[in-house]
């Protein structure tokens, strides 16, 4: 399938630069796959829109303040984006993205004087850099990030280095249910940004349940498709964990809607389902696995419903949502673009801080 089928024109003014005043004031576009009906709502109405009780599977990963500004040892500025600890190395060695990467070869040093030094140890084919940190004030790289870092906003959200909105980003580019023990996301699971404690409580009062899982969101999720054919694109691996109680809810044969809160939750769930059809896994304990699952039309799903935001042109997320719209068919590609066109005419806001869509 040609990747150009997933292109669409998005006016710059449709890209949300700040979140709604309240999380649940975001708009919510409801799409019924069985009838083709599309309706406008607000996110606070979500508890009233589900036709029957649902089990909602949410990604509780926490976004790191992982963007750190430093300087090269020979002069010049450096931006370091922390991704995740290097599993085969000491705790102070991390995989990162560095800008400008070409000016930081293996062996190069960058730093914040009296705070840390970072040494480039290795570079891989995907552009990631292994960095060993020497910490002068902090006990860990995470505490360094908490003190010195900024939220890793995507590049389409414009911020000056000393932007007053950065404090807002620290609160709002994070779900209200983010788990401090799961702090390795390089980007937010944005469908969850719309939930407030009030909406969560109303959902539970209405008979819905929430189950937690964790997918450590990496930049591969948002990497655009640069190949001419959709099938030629390669996904980066991301690690996910599903606790035993969540797995039991996923495989329960009940009448509940299985709702994935966001594409990251959906990918973790669908990867688990695909893996366990071919492999036996322990019934007890948390299941953890790396996945490079890439979903594009035509595809079938075990998950019943999806809550998601509006995504970038020519992205793997657009492929996933179009596949979910019409399982087993490629018809969802054109339909999704028609839905997006209608959403633009109705002044929906796009991308991470934008509005949401519920697909039933």
Arithmetic mean of pLDDT, 172-192: 95
pLDDT tens digits for 245-293?
A: 999 999 999 999 999 999 999 999 999 999 999 999 998 999 999 999 9
Query: What pLDDT sits at residue 95?
Result: 92
158 occurs within a structural domain: no
Residue written as tokens 């009030």?
198
Tell me what percent of the residues of the chain surpass a pLDDT of 90: 87
Tell me, yes or no, whether 329 and 236 share the same domain. Answer: yes
**Average pLDDT of the chain?**
94
- Has residue 176 been placed in a domain? yes
CA angle (336, 342, 347) in 5-degree steps: 125
Closest CA to 303 of 339, 334, 272: 272
* Residue 221 in this model has a pLDDT that exceeds 70: no
283 lies in the same domain as 138: no
Q: What is the pLDDT of residues 72-109, one digit of tens each?
A: 988 899 999 999 898 777 789 999 999 998 889 999 99
Q: How far apart are CA 181 and CA 14, in angstroms?
A: 35
Domain that holds residue 292: 3-63+172-359
Last residue of a domain, one of 88, 117, 150: 150
CATH number at residue 51: 3.40.1780.10
Distance of CA 236 to the CA centre of its chain: 13
177 plus 288 within the same structural domain: yes
> Residue 196 domain-assigned?
yes
275 with 201, same domain: the answer is yes
Same domain flag for 289 and 191: yes
The count of structural domains within the chain is 2
More confident call, 196 vs 236: 196
User: What's the confidence (pLDDT) of residue 91?
Assistant: 87
Write out pLDDT tens, residues 112-135.
999 999 999 999 887 889 999 999
Tell me, yes or no, if the pTM score tops 0.85.
yes
60-78 core/surface letters (b: 16 or more CB in 10 A; e: else): bbbbbbbbbebebeeeeeb
Q: What is the pLDDT of residue 206?
A: 96
Q: Is the same domain home to 262 and 135?
A: no
Distance CA 151, CA 186 (A): 9
**Does position 143 have pLDDT exceeding 90, yes or no?**
yes
Q: How confident is the model at residue 16 (pLDDT cuts 50, 70, 90)?
A: very high
Residue 36: the pLDDT is 96
- Are 197 and 300 members of one domain? yes
Judgement on whether residues 78 and 52 belong to the same structural domain of the protein = no
Has residue 162 been placed in a domain? no
Looking at residue 222, its pLDDT comes to: 66
**CA terminus-to-terminus distance, the chain:** 26
Distances (CA, A) of 234 to 199, 237, 360: 37, 9, 29
pLDDT in tens, 27-84: 999 999 999 999 999 999 999 999 999 999 999 999 999 999 999 988 899 999 999 8
157 falls within a domain: no
| 329 in the same domain as 204 | yes
- The answer on 185 and 40 residing in a single domain is yes
Read off the pLDDT of residues 305-315 as tens digits, 9 standing for 90 and up: 999 999 999 99
Tell me the torsion sign for CA atoms 88, 132, 100, 83.
Answer: positive
User: At residue 208, does pLDDT exceed 70?
Assistant: yes
| Res. 219: pLDDT tops 80 | no
Helix (H, G, I), strand (E, B) or coil at 224: strand
Give the C-alpha separation, 215 to 203, whole Å.
Answer: 23
Strand pairing report for 287-291 and 238-242? antiparallel
Packed helices 316-325 and 263-278: angle between N→C axes, nearest 10 degrees: 70
Share of the chain above pLDDT 70, in %: 99
In a domain, residue 156? The reply is no
Residues in contact with 87: Cβ distance below 8 Å, sequence separation at least 6, in sequence order:
none
Q: H/E element holding 288?
A: strand 287-291
Of 286, 211, 281, the closest CA to residue 249 belongs to 211
Pair 256, 52: CB distance under 8 Å:
yes
The answer to whether residues 126 and 231 belong to one domain is no
Residue 12 located in a structural domain: yes
Task: Tell me: do 80 and 25 sit in the same domain.
Answer: no
User: CATH number of the domain that 78 lies in?
Assistant: 2.40.10.240
Residue with tokens 């590049």: 155
């Amino acid at each position: 399938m040609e990747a150009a089928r997933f292109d669409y024109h998005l006016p710059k003014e449709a890209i949300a630069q700040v979140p709604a005043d309240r999380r649940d004031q975001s708009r919510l576009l409801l799409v019924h796959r069985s009838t083709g009906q599309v309706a406008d709502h607000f996110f606070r109405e979500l508890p009233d829109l589900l036709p029957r009780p649902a089990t909602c599977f949410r990604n509780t990963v926490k976004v790191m303040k992982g963007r750190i500004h430093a300087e090269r040892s020979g002069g010049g500025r450096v931006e370091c984006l922390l991704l995740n600890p290097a599993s085969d190395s000491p705790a102070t060695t991390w995989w990162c993205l560095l800008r400008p990467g070409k000016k930081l070869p293996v062996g190069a040093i960058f730093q914040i004087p009296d705070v840390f030094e970072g040494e480039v140890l290795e570079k891989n084919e995907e552009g990631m850099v292994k960095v060993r940190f020497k910490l002068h004030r902090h006990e860990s790289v995470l505490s360094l990030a908490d003190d010195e870092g900024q939220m890793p906003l995507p590049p389409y959200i414009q911020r000056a280095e000393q932007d007053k909105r950065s404090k807002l980003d620290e609160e709002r580019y994070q779900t209200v249910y983010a788990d401090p023990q799961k702090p390795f996301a390089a980007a937010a699971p944005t469908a969850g940004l719309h939930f407030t404690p009030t909406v969560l409580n109303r959902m539970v009062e209405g008979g819905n349940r929430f189950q937690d899982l964790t997918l450590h969101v990496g930049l591969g999720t948002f990497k655009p498709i640069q190949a001419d054919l959709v099938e030629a694109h390669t996904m980066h691996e991301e690690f996910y964990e599903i606790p035993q109680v969540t797995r039991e809810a996923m495989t329960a044969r009940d009448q509940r809607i299985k709702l994935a809160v966001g594409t990251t939750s959906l990918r973790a769930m669908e990867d688990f389902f695909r893996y366990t059809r071919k492999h036996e896994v322990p019934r007890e304990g948390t299941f953890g696995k790396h996945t490079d699952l890439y979903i594009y039309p035509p595809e079938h799903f075990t998950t019943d419903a999806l809550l998601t935001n509006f995504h970038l042109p020519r992205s793997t997320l657009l492929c996933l949502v179009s596949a979910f719209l019409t399982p087993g068919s490629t018809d969802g590609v054109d339909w999704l673009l028609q839905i997006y066109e209608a959403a633009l005419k109705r002044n929906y806001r796009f991308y991470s801080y934008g509005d949401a869509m519920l697909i039933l």
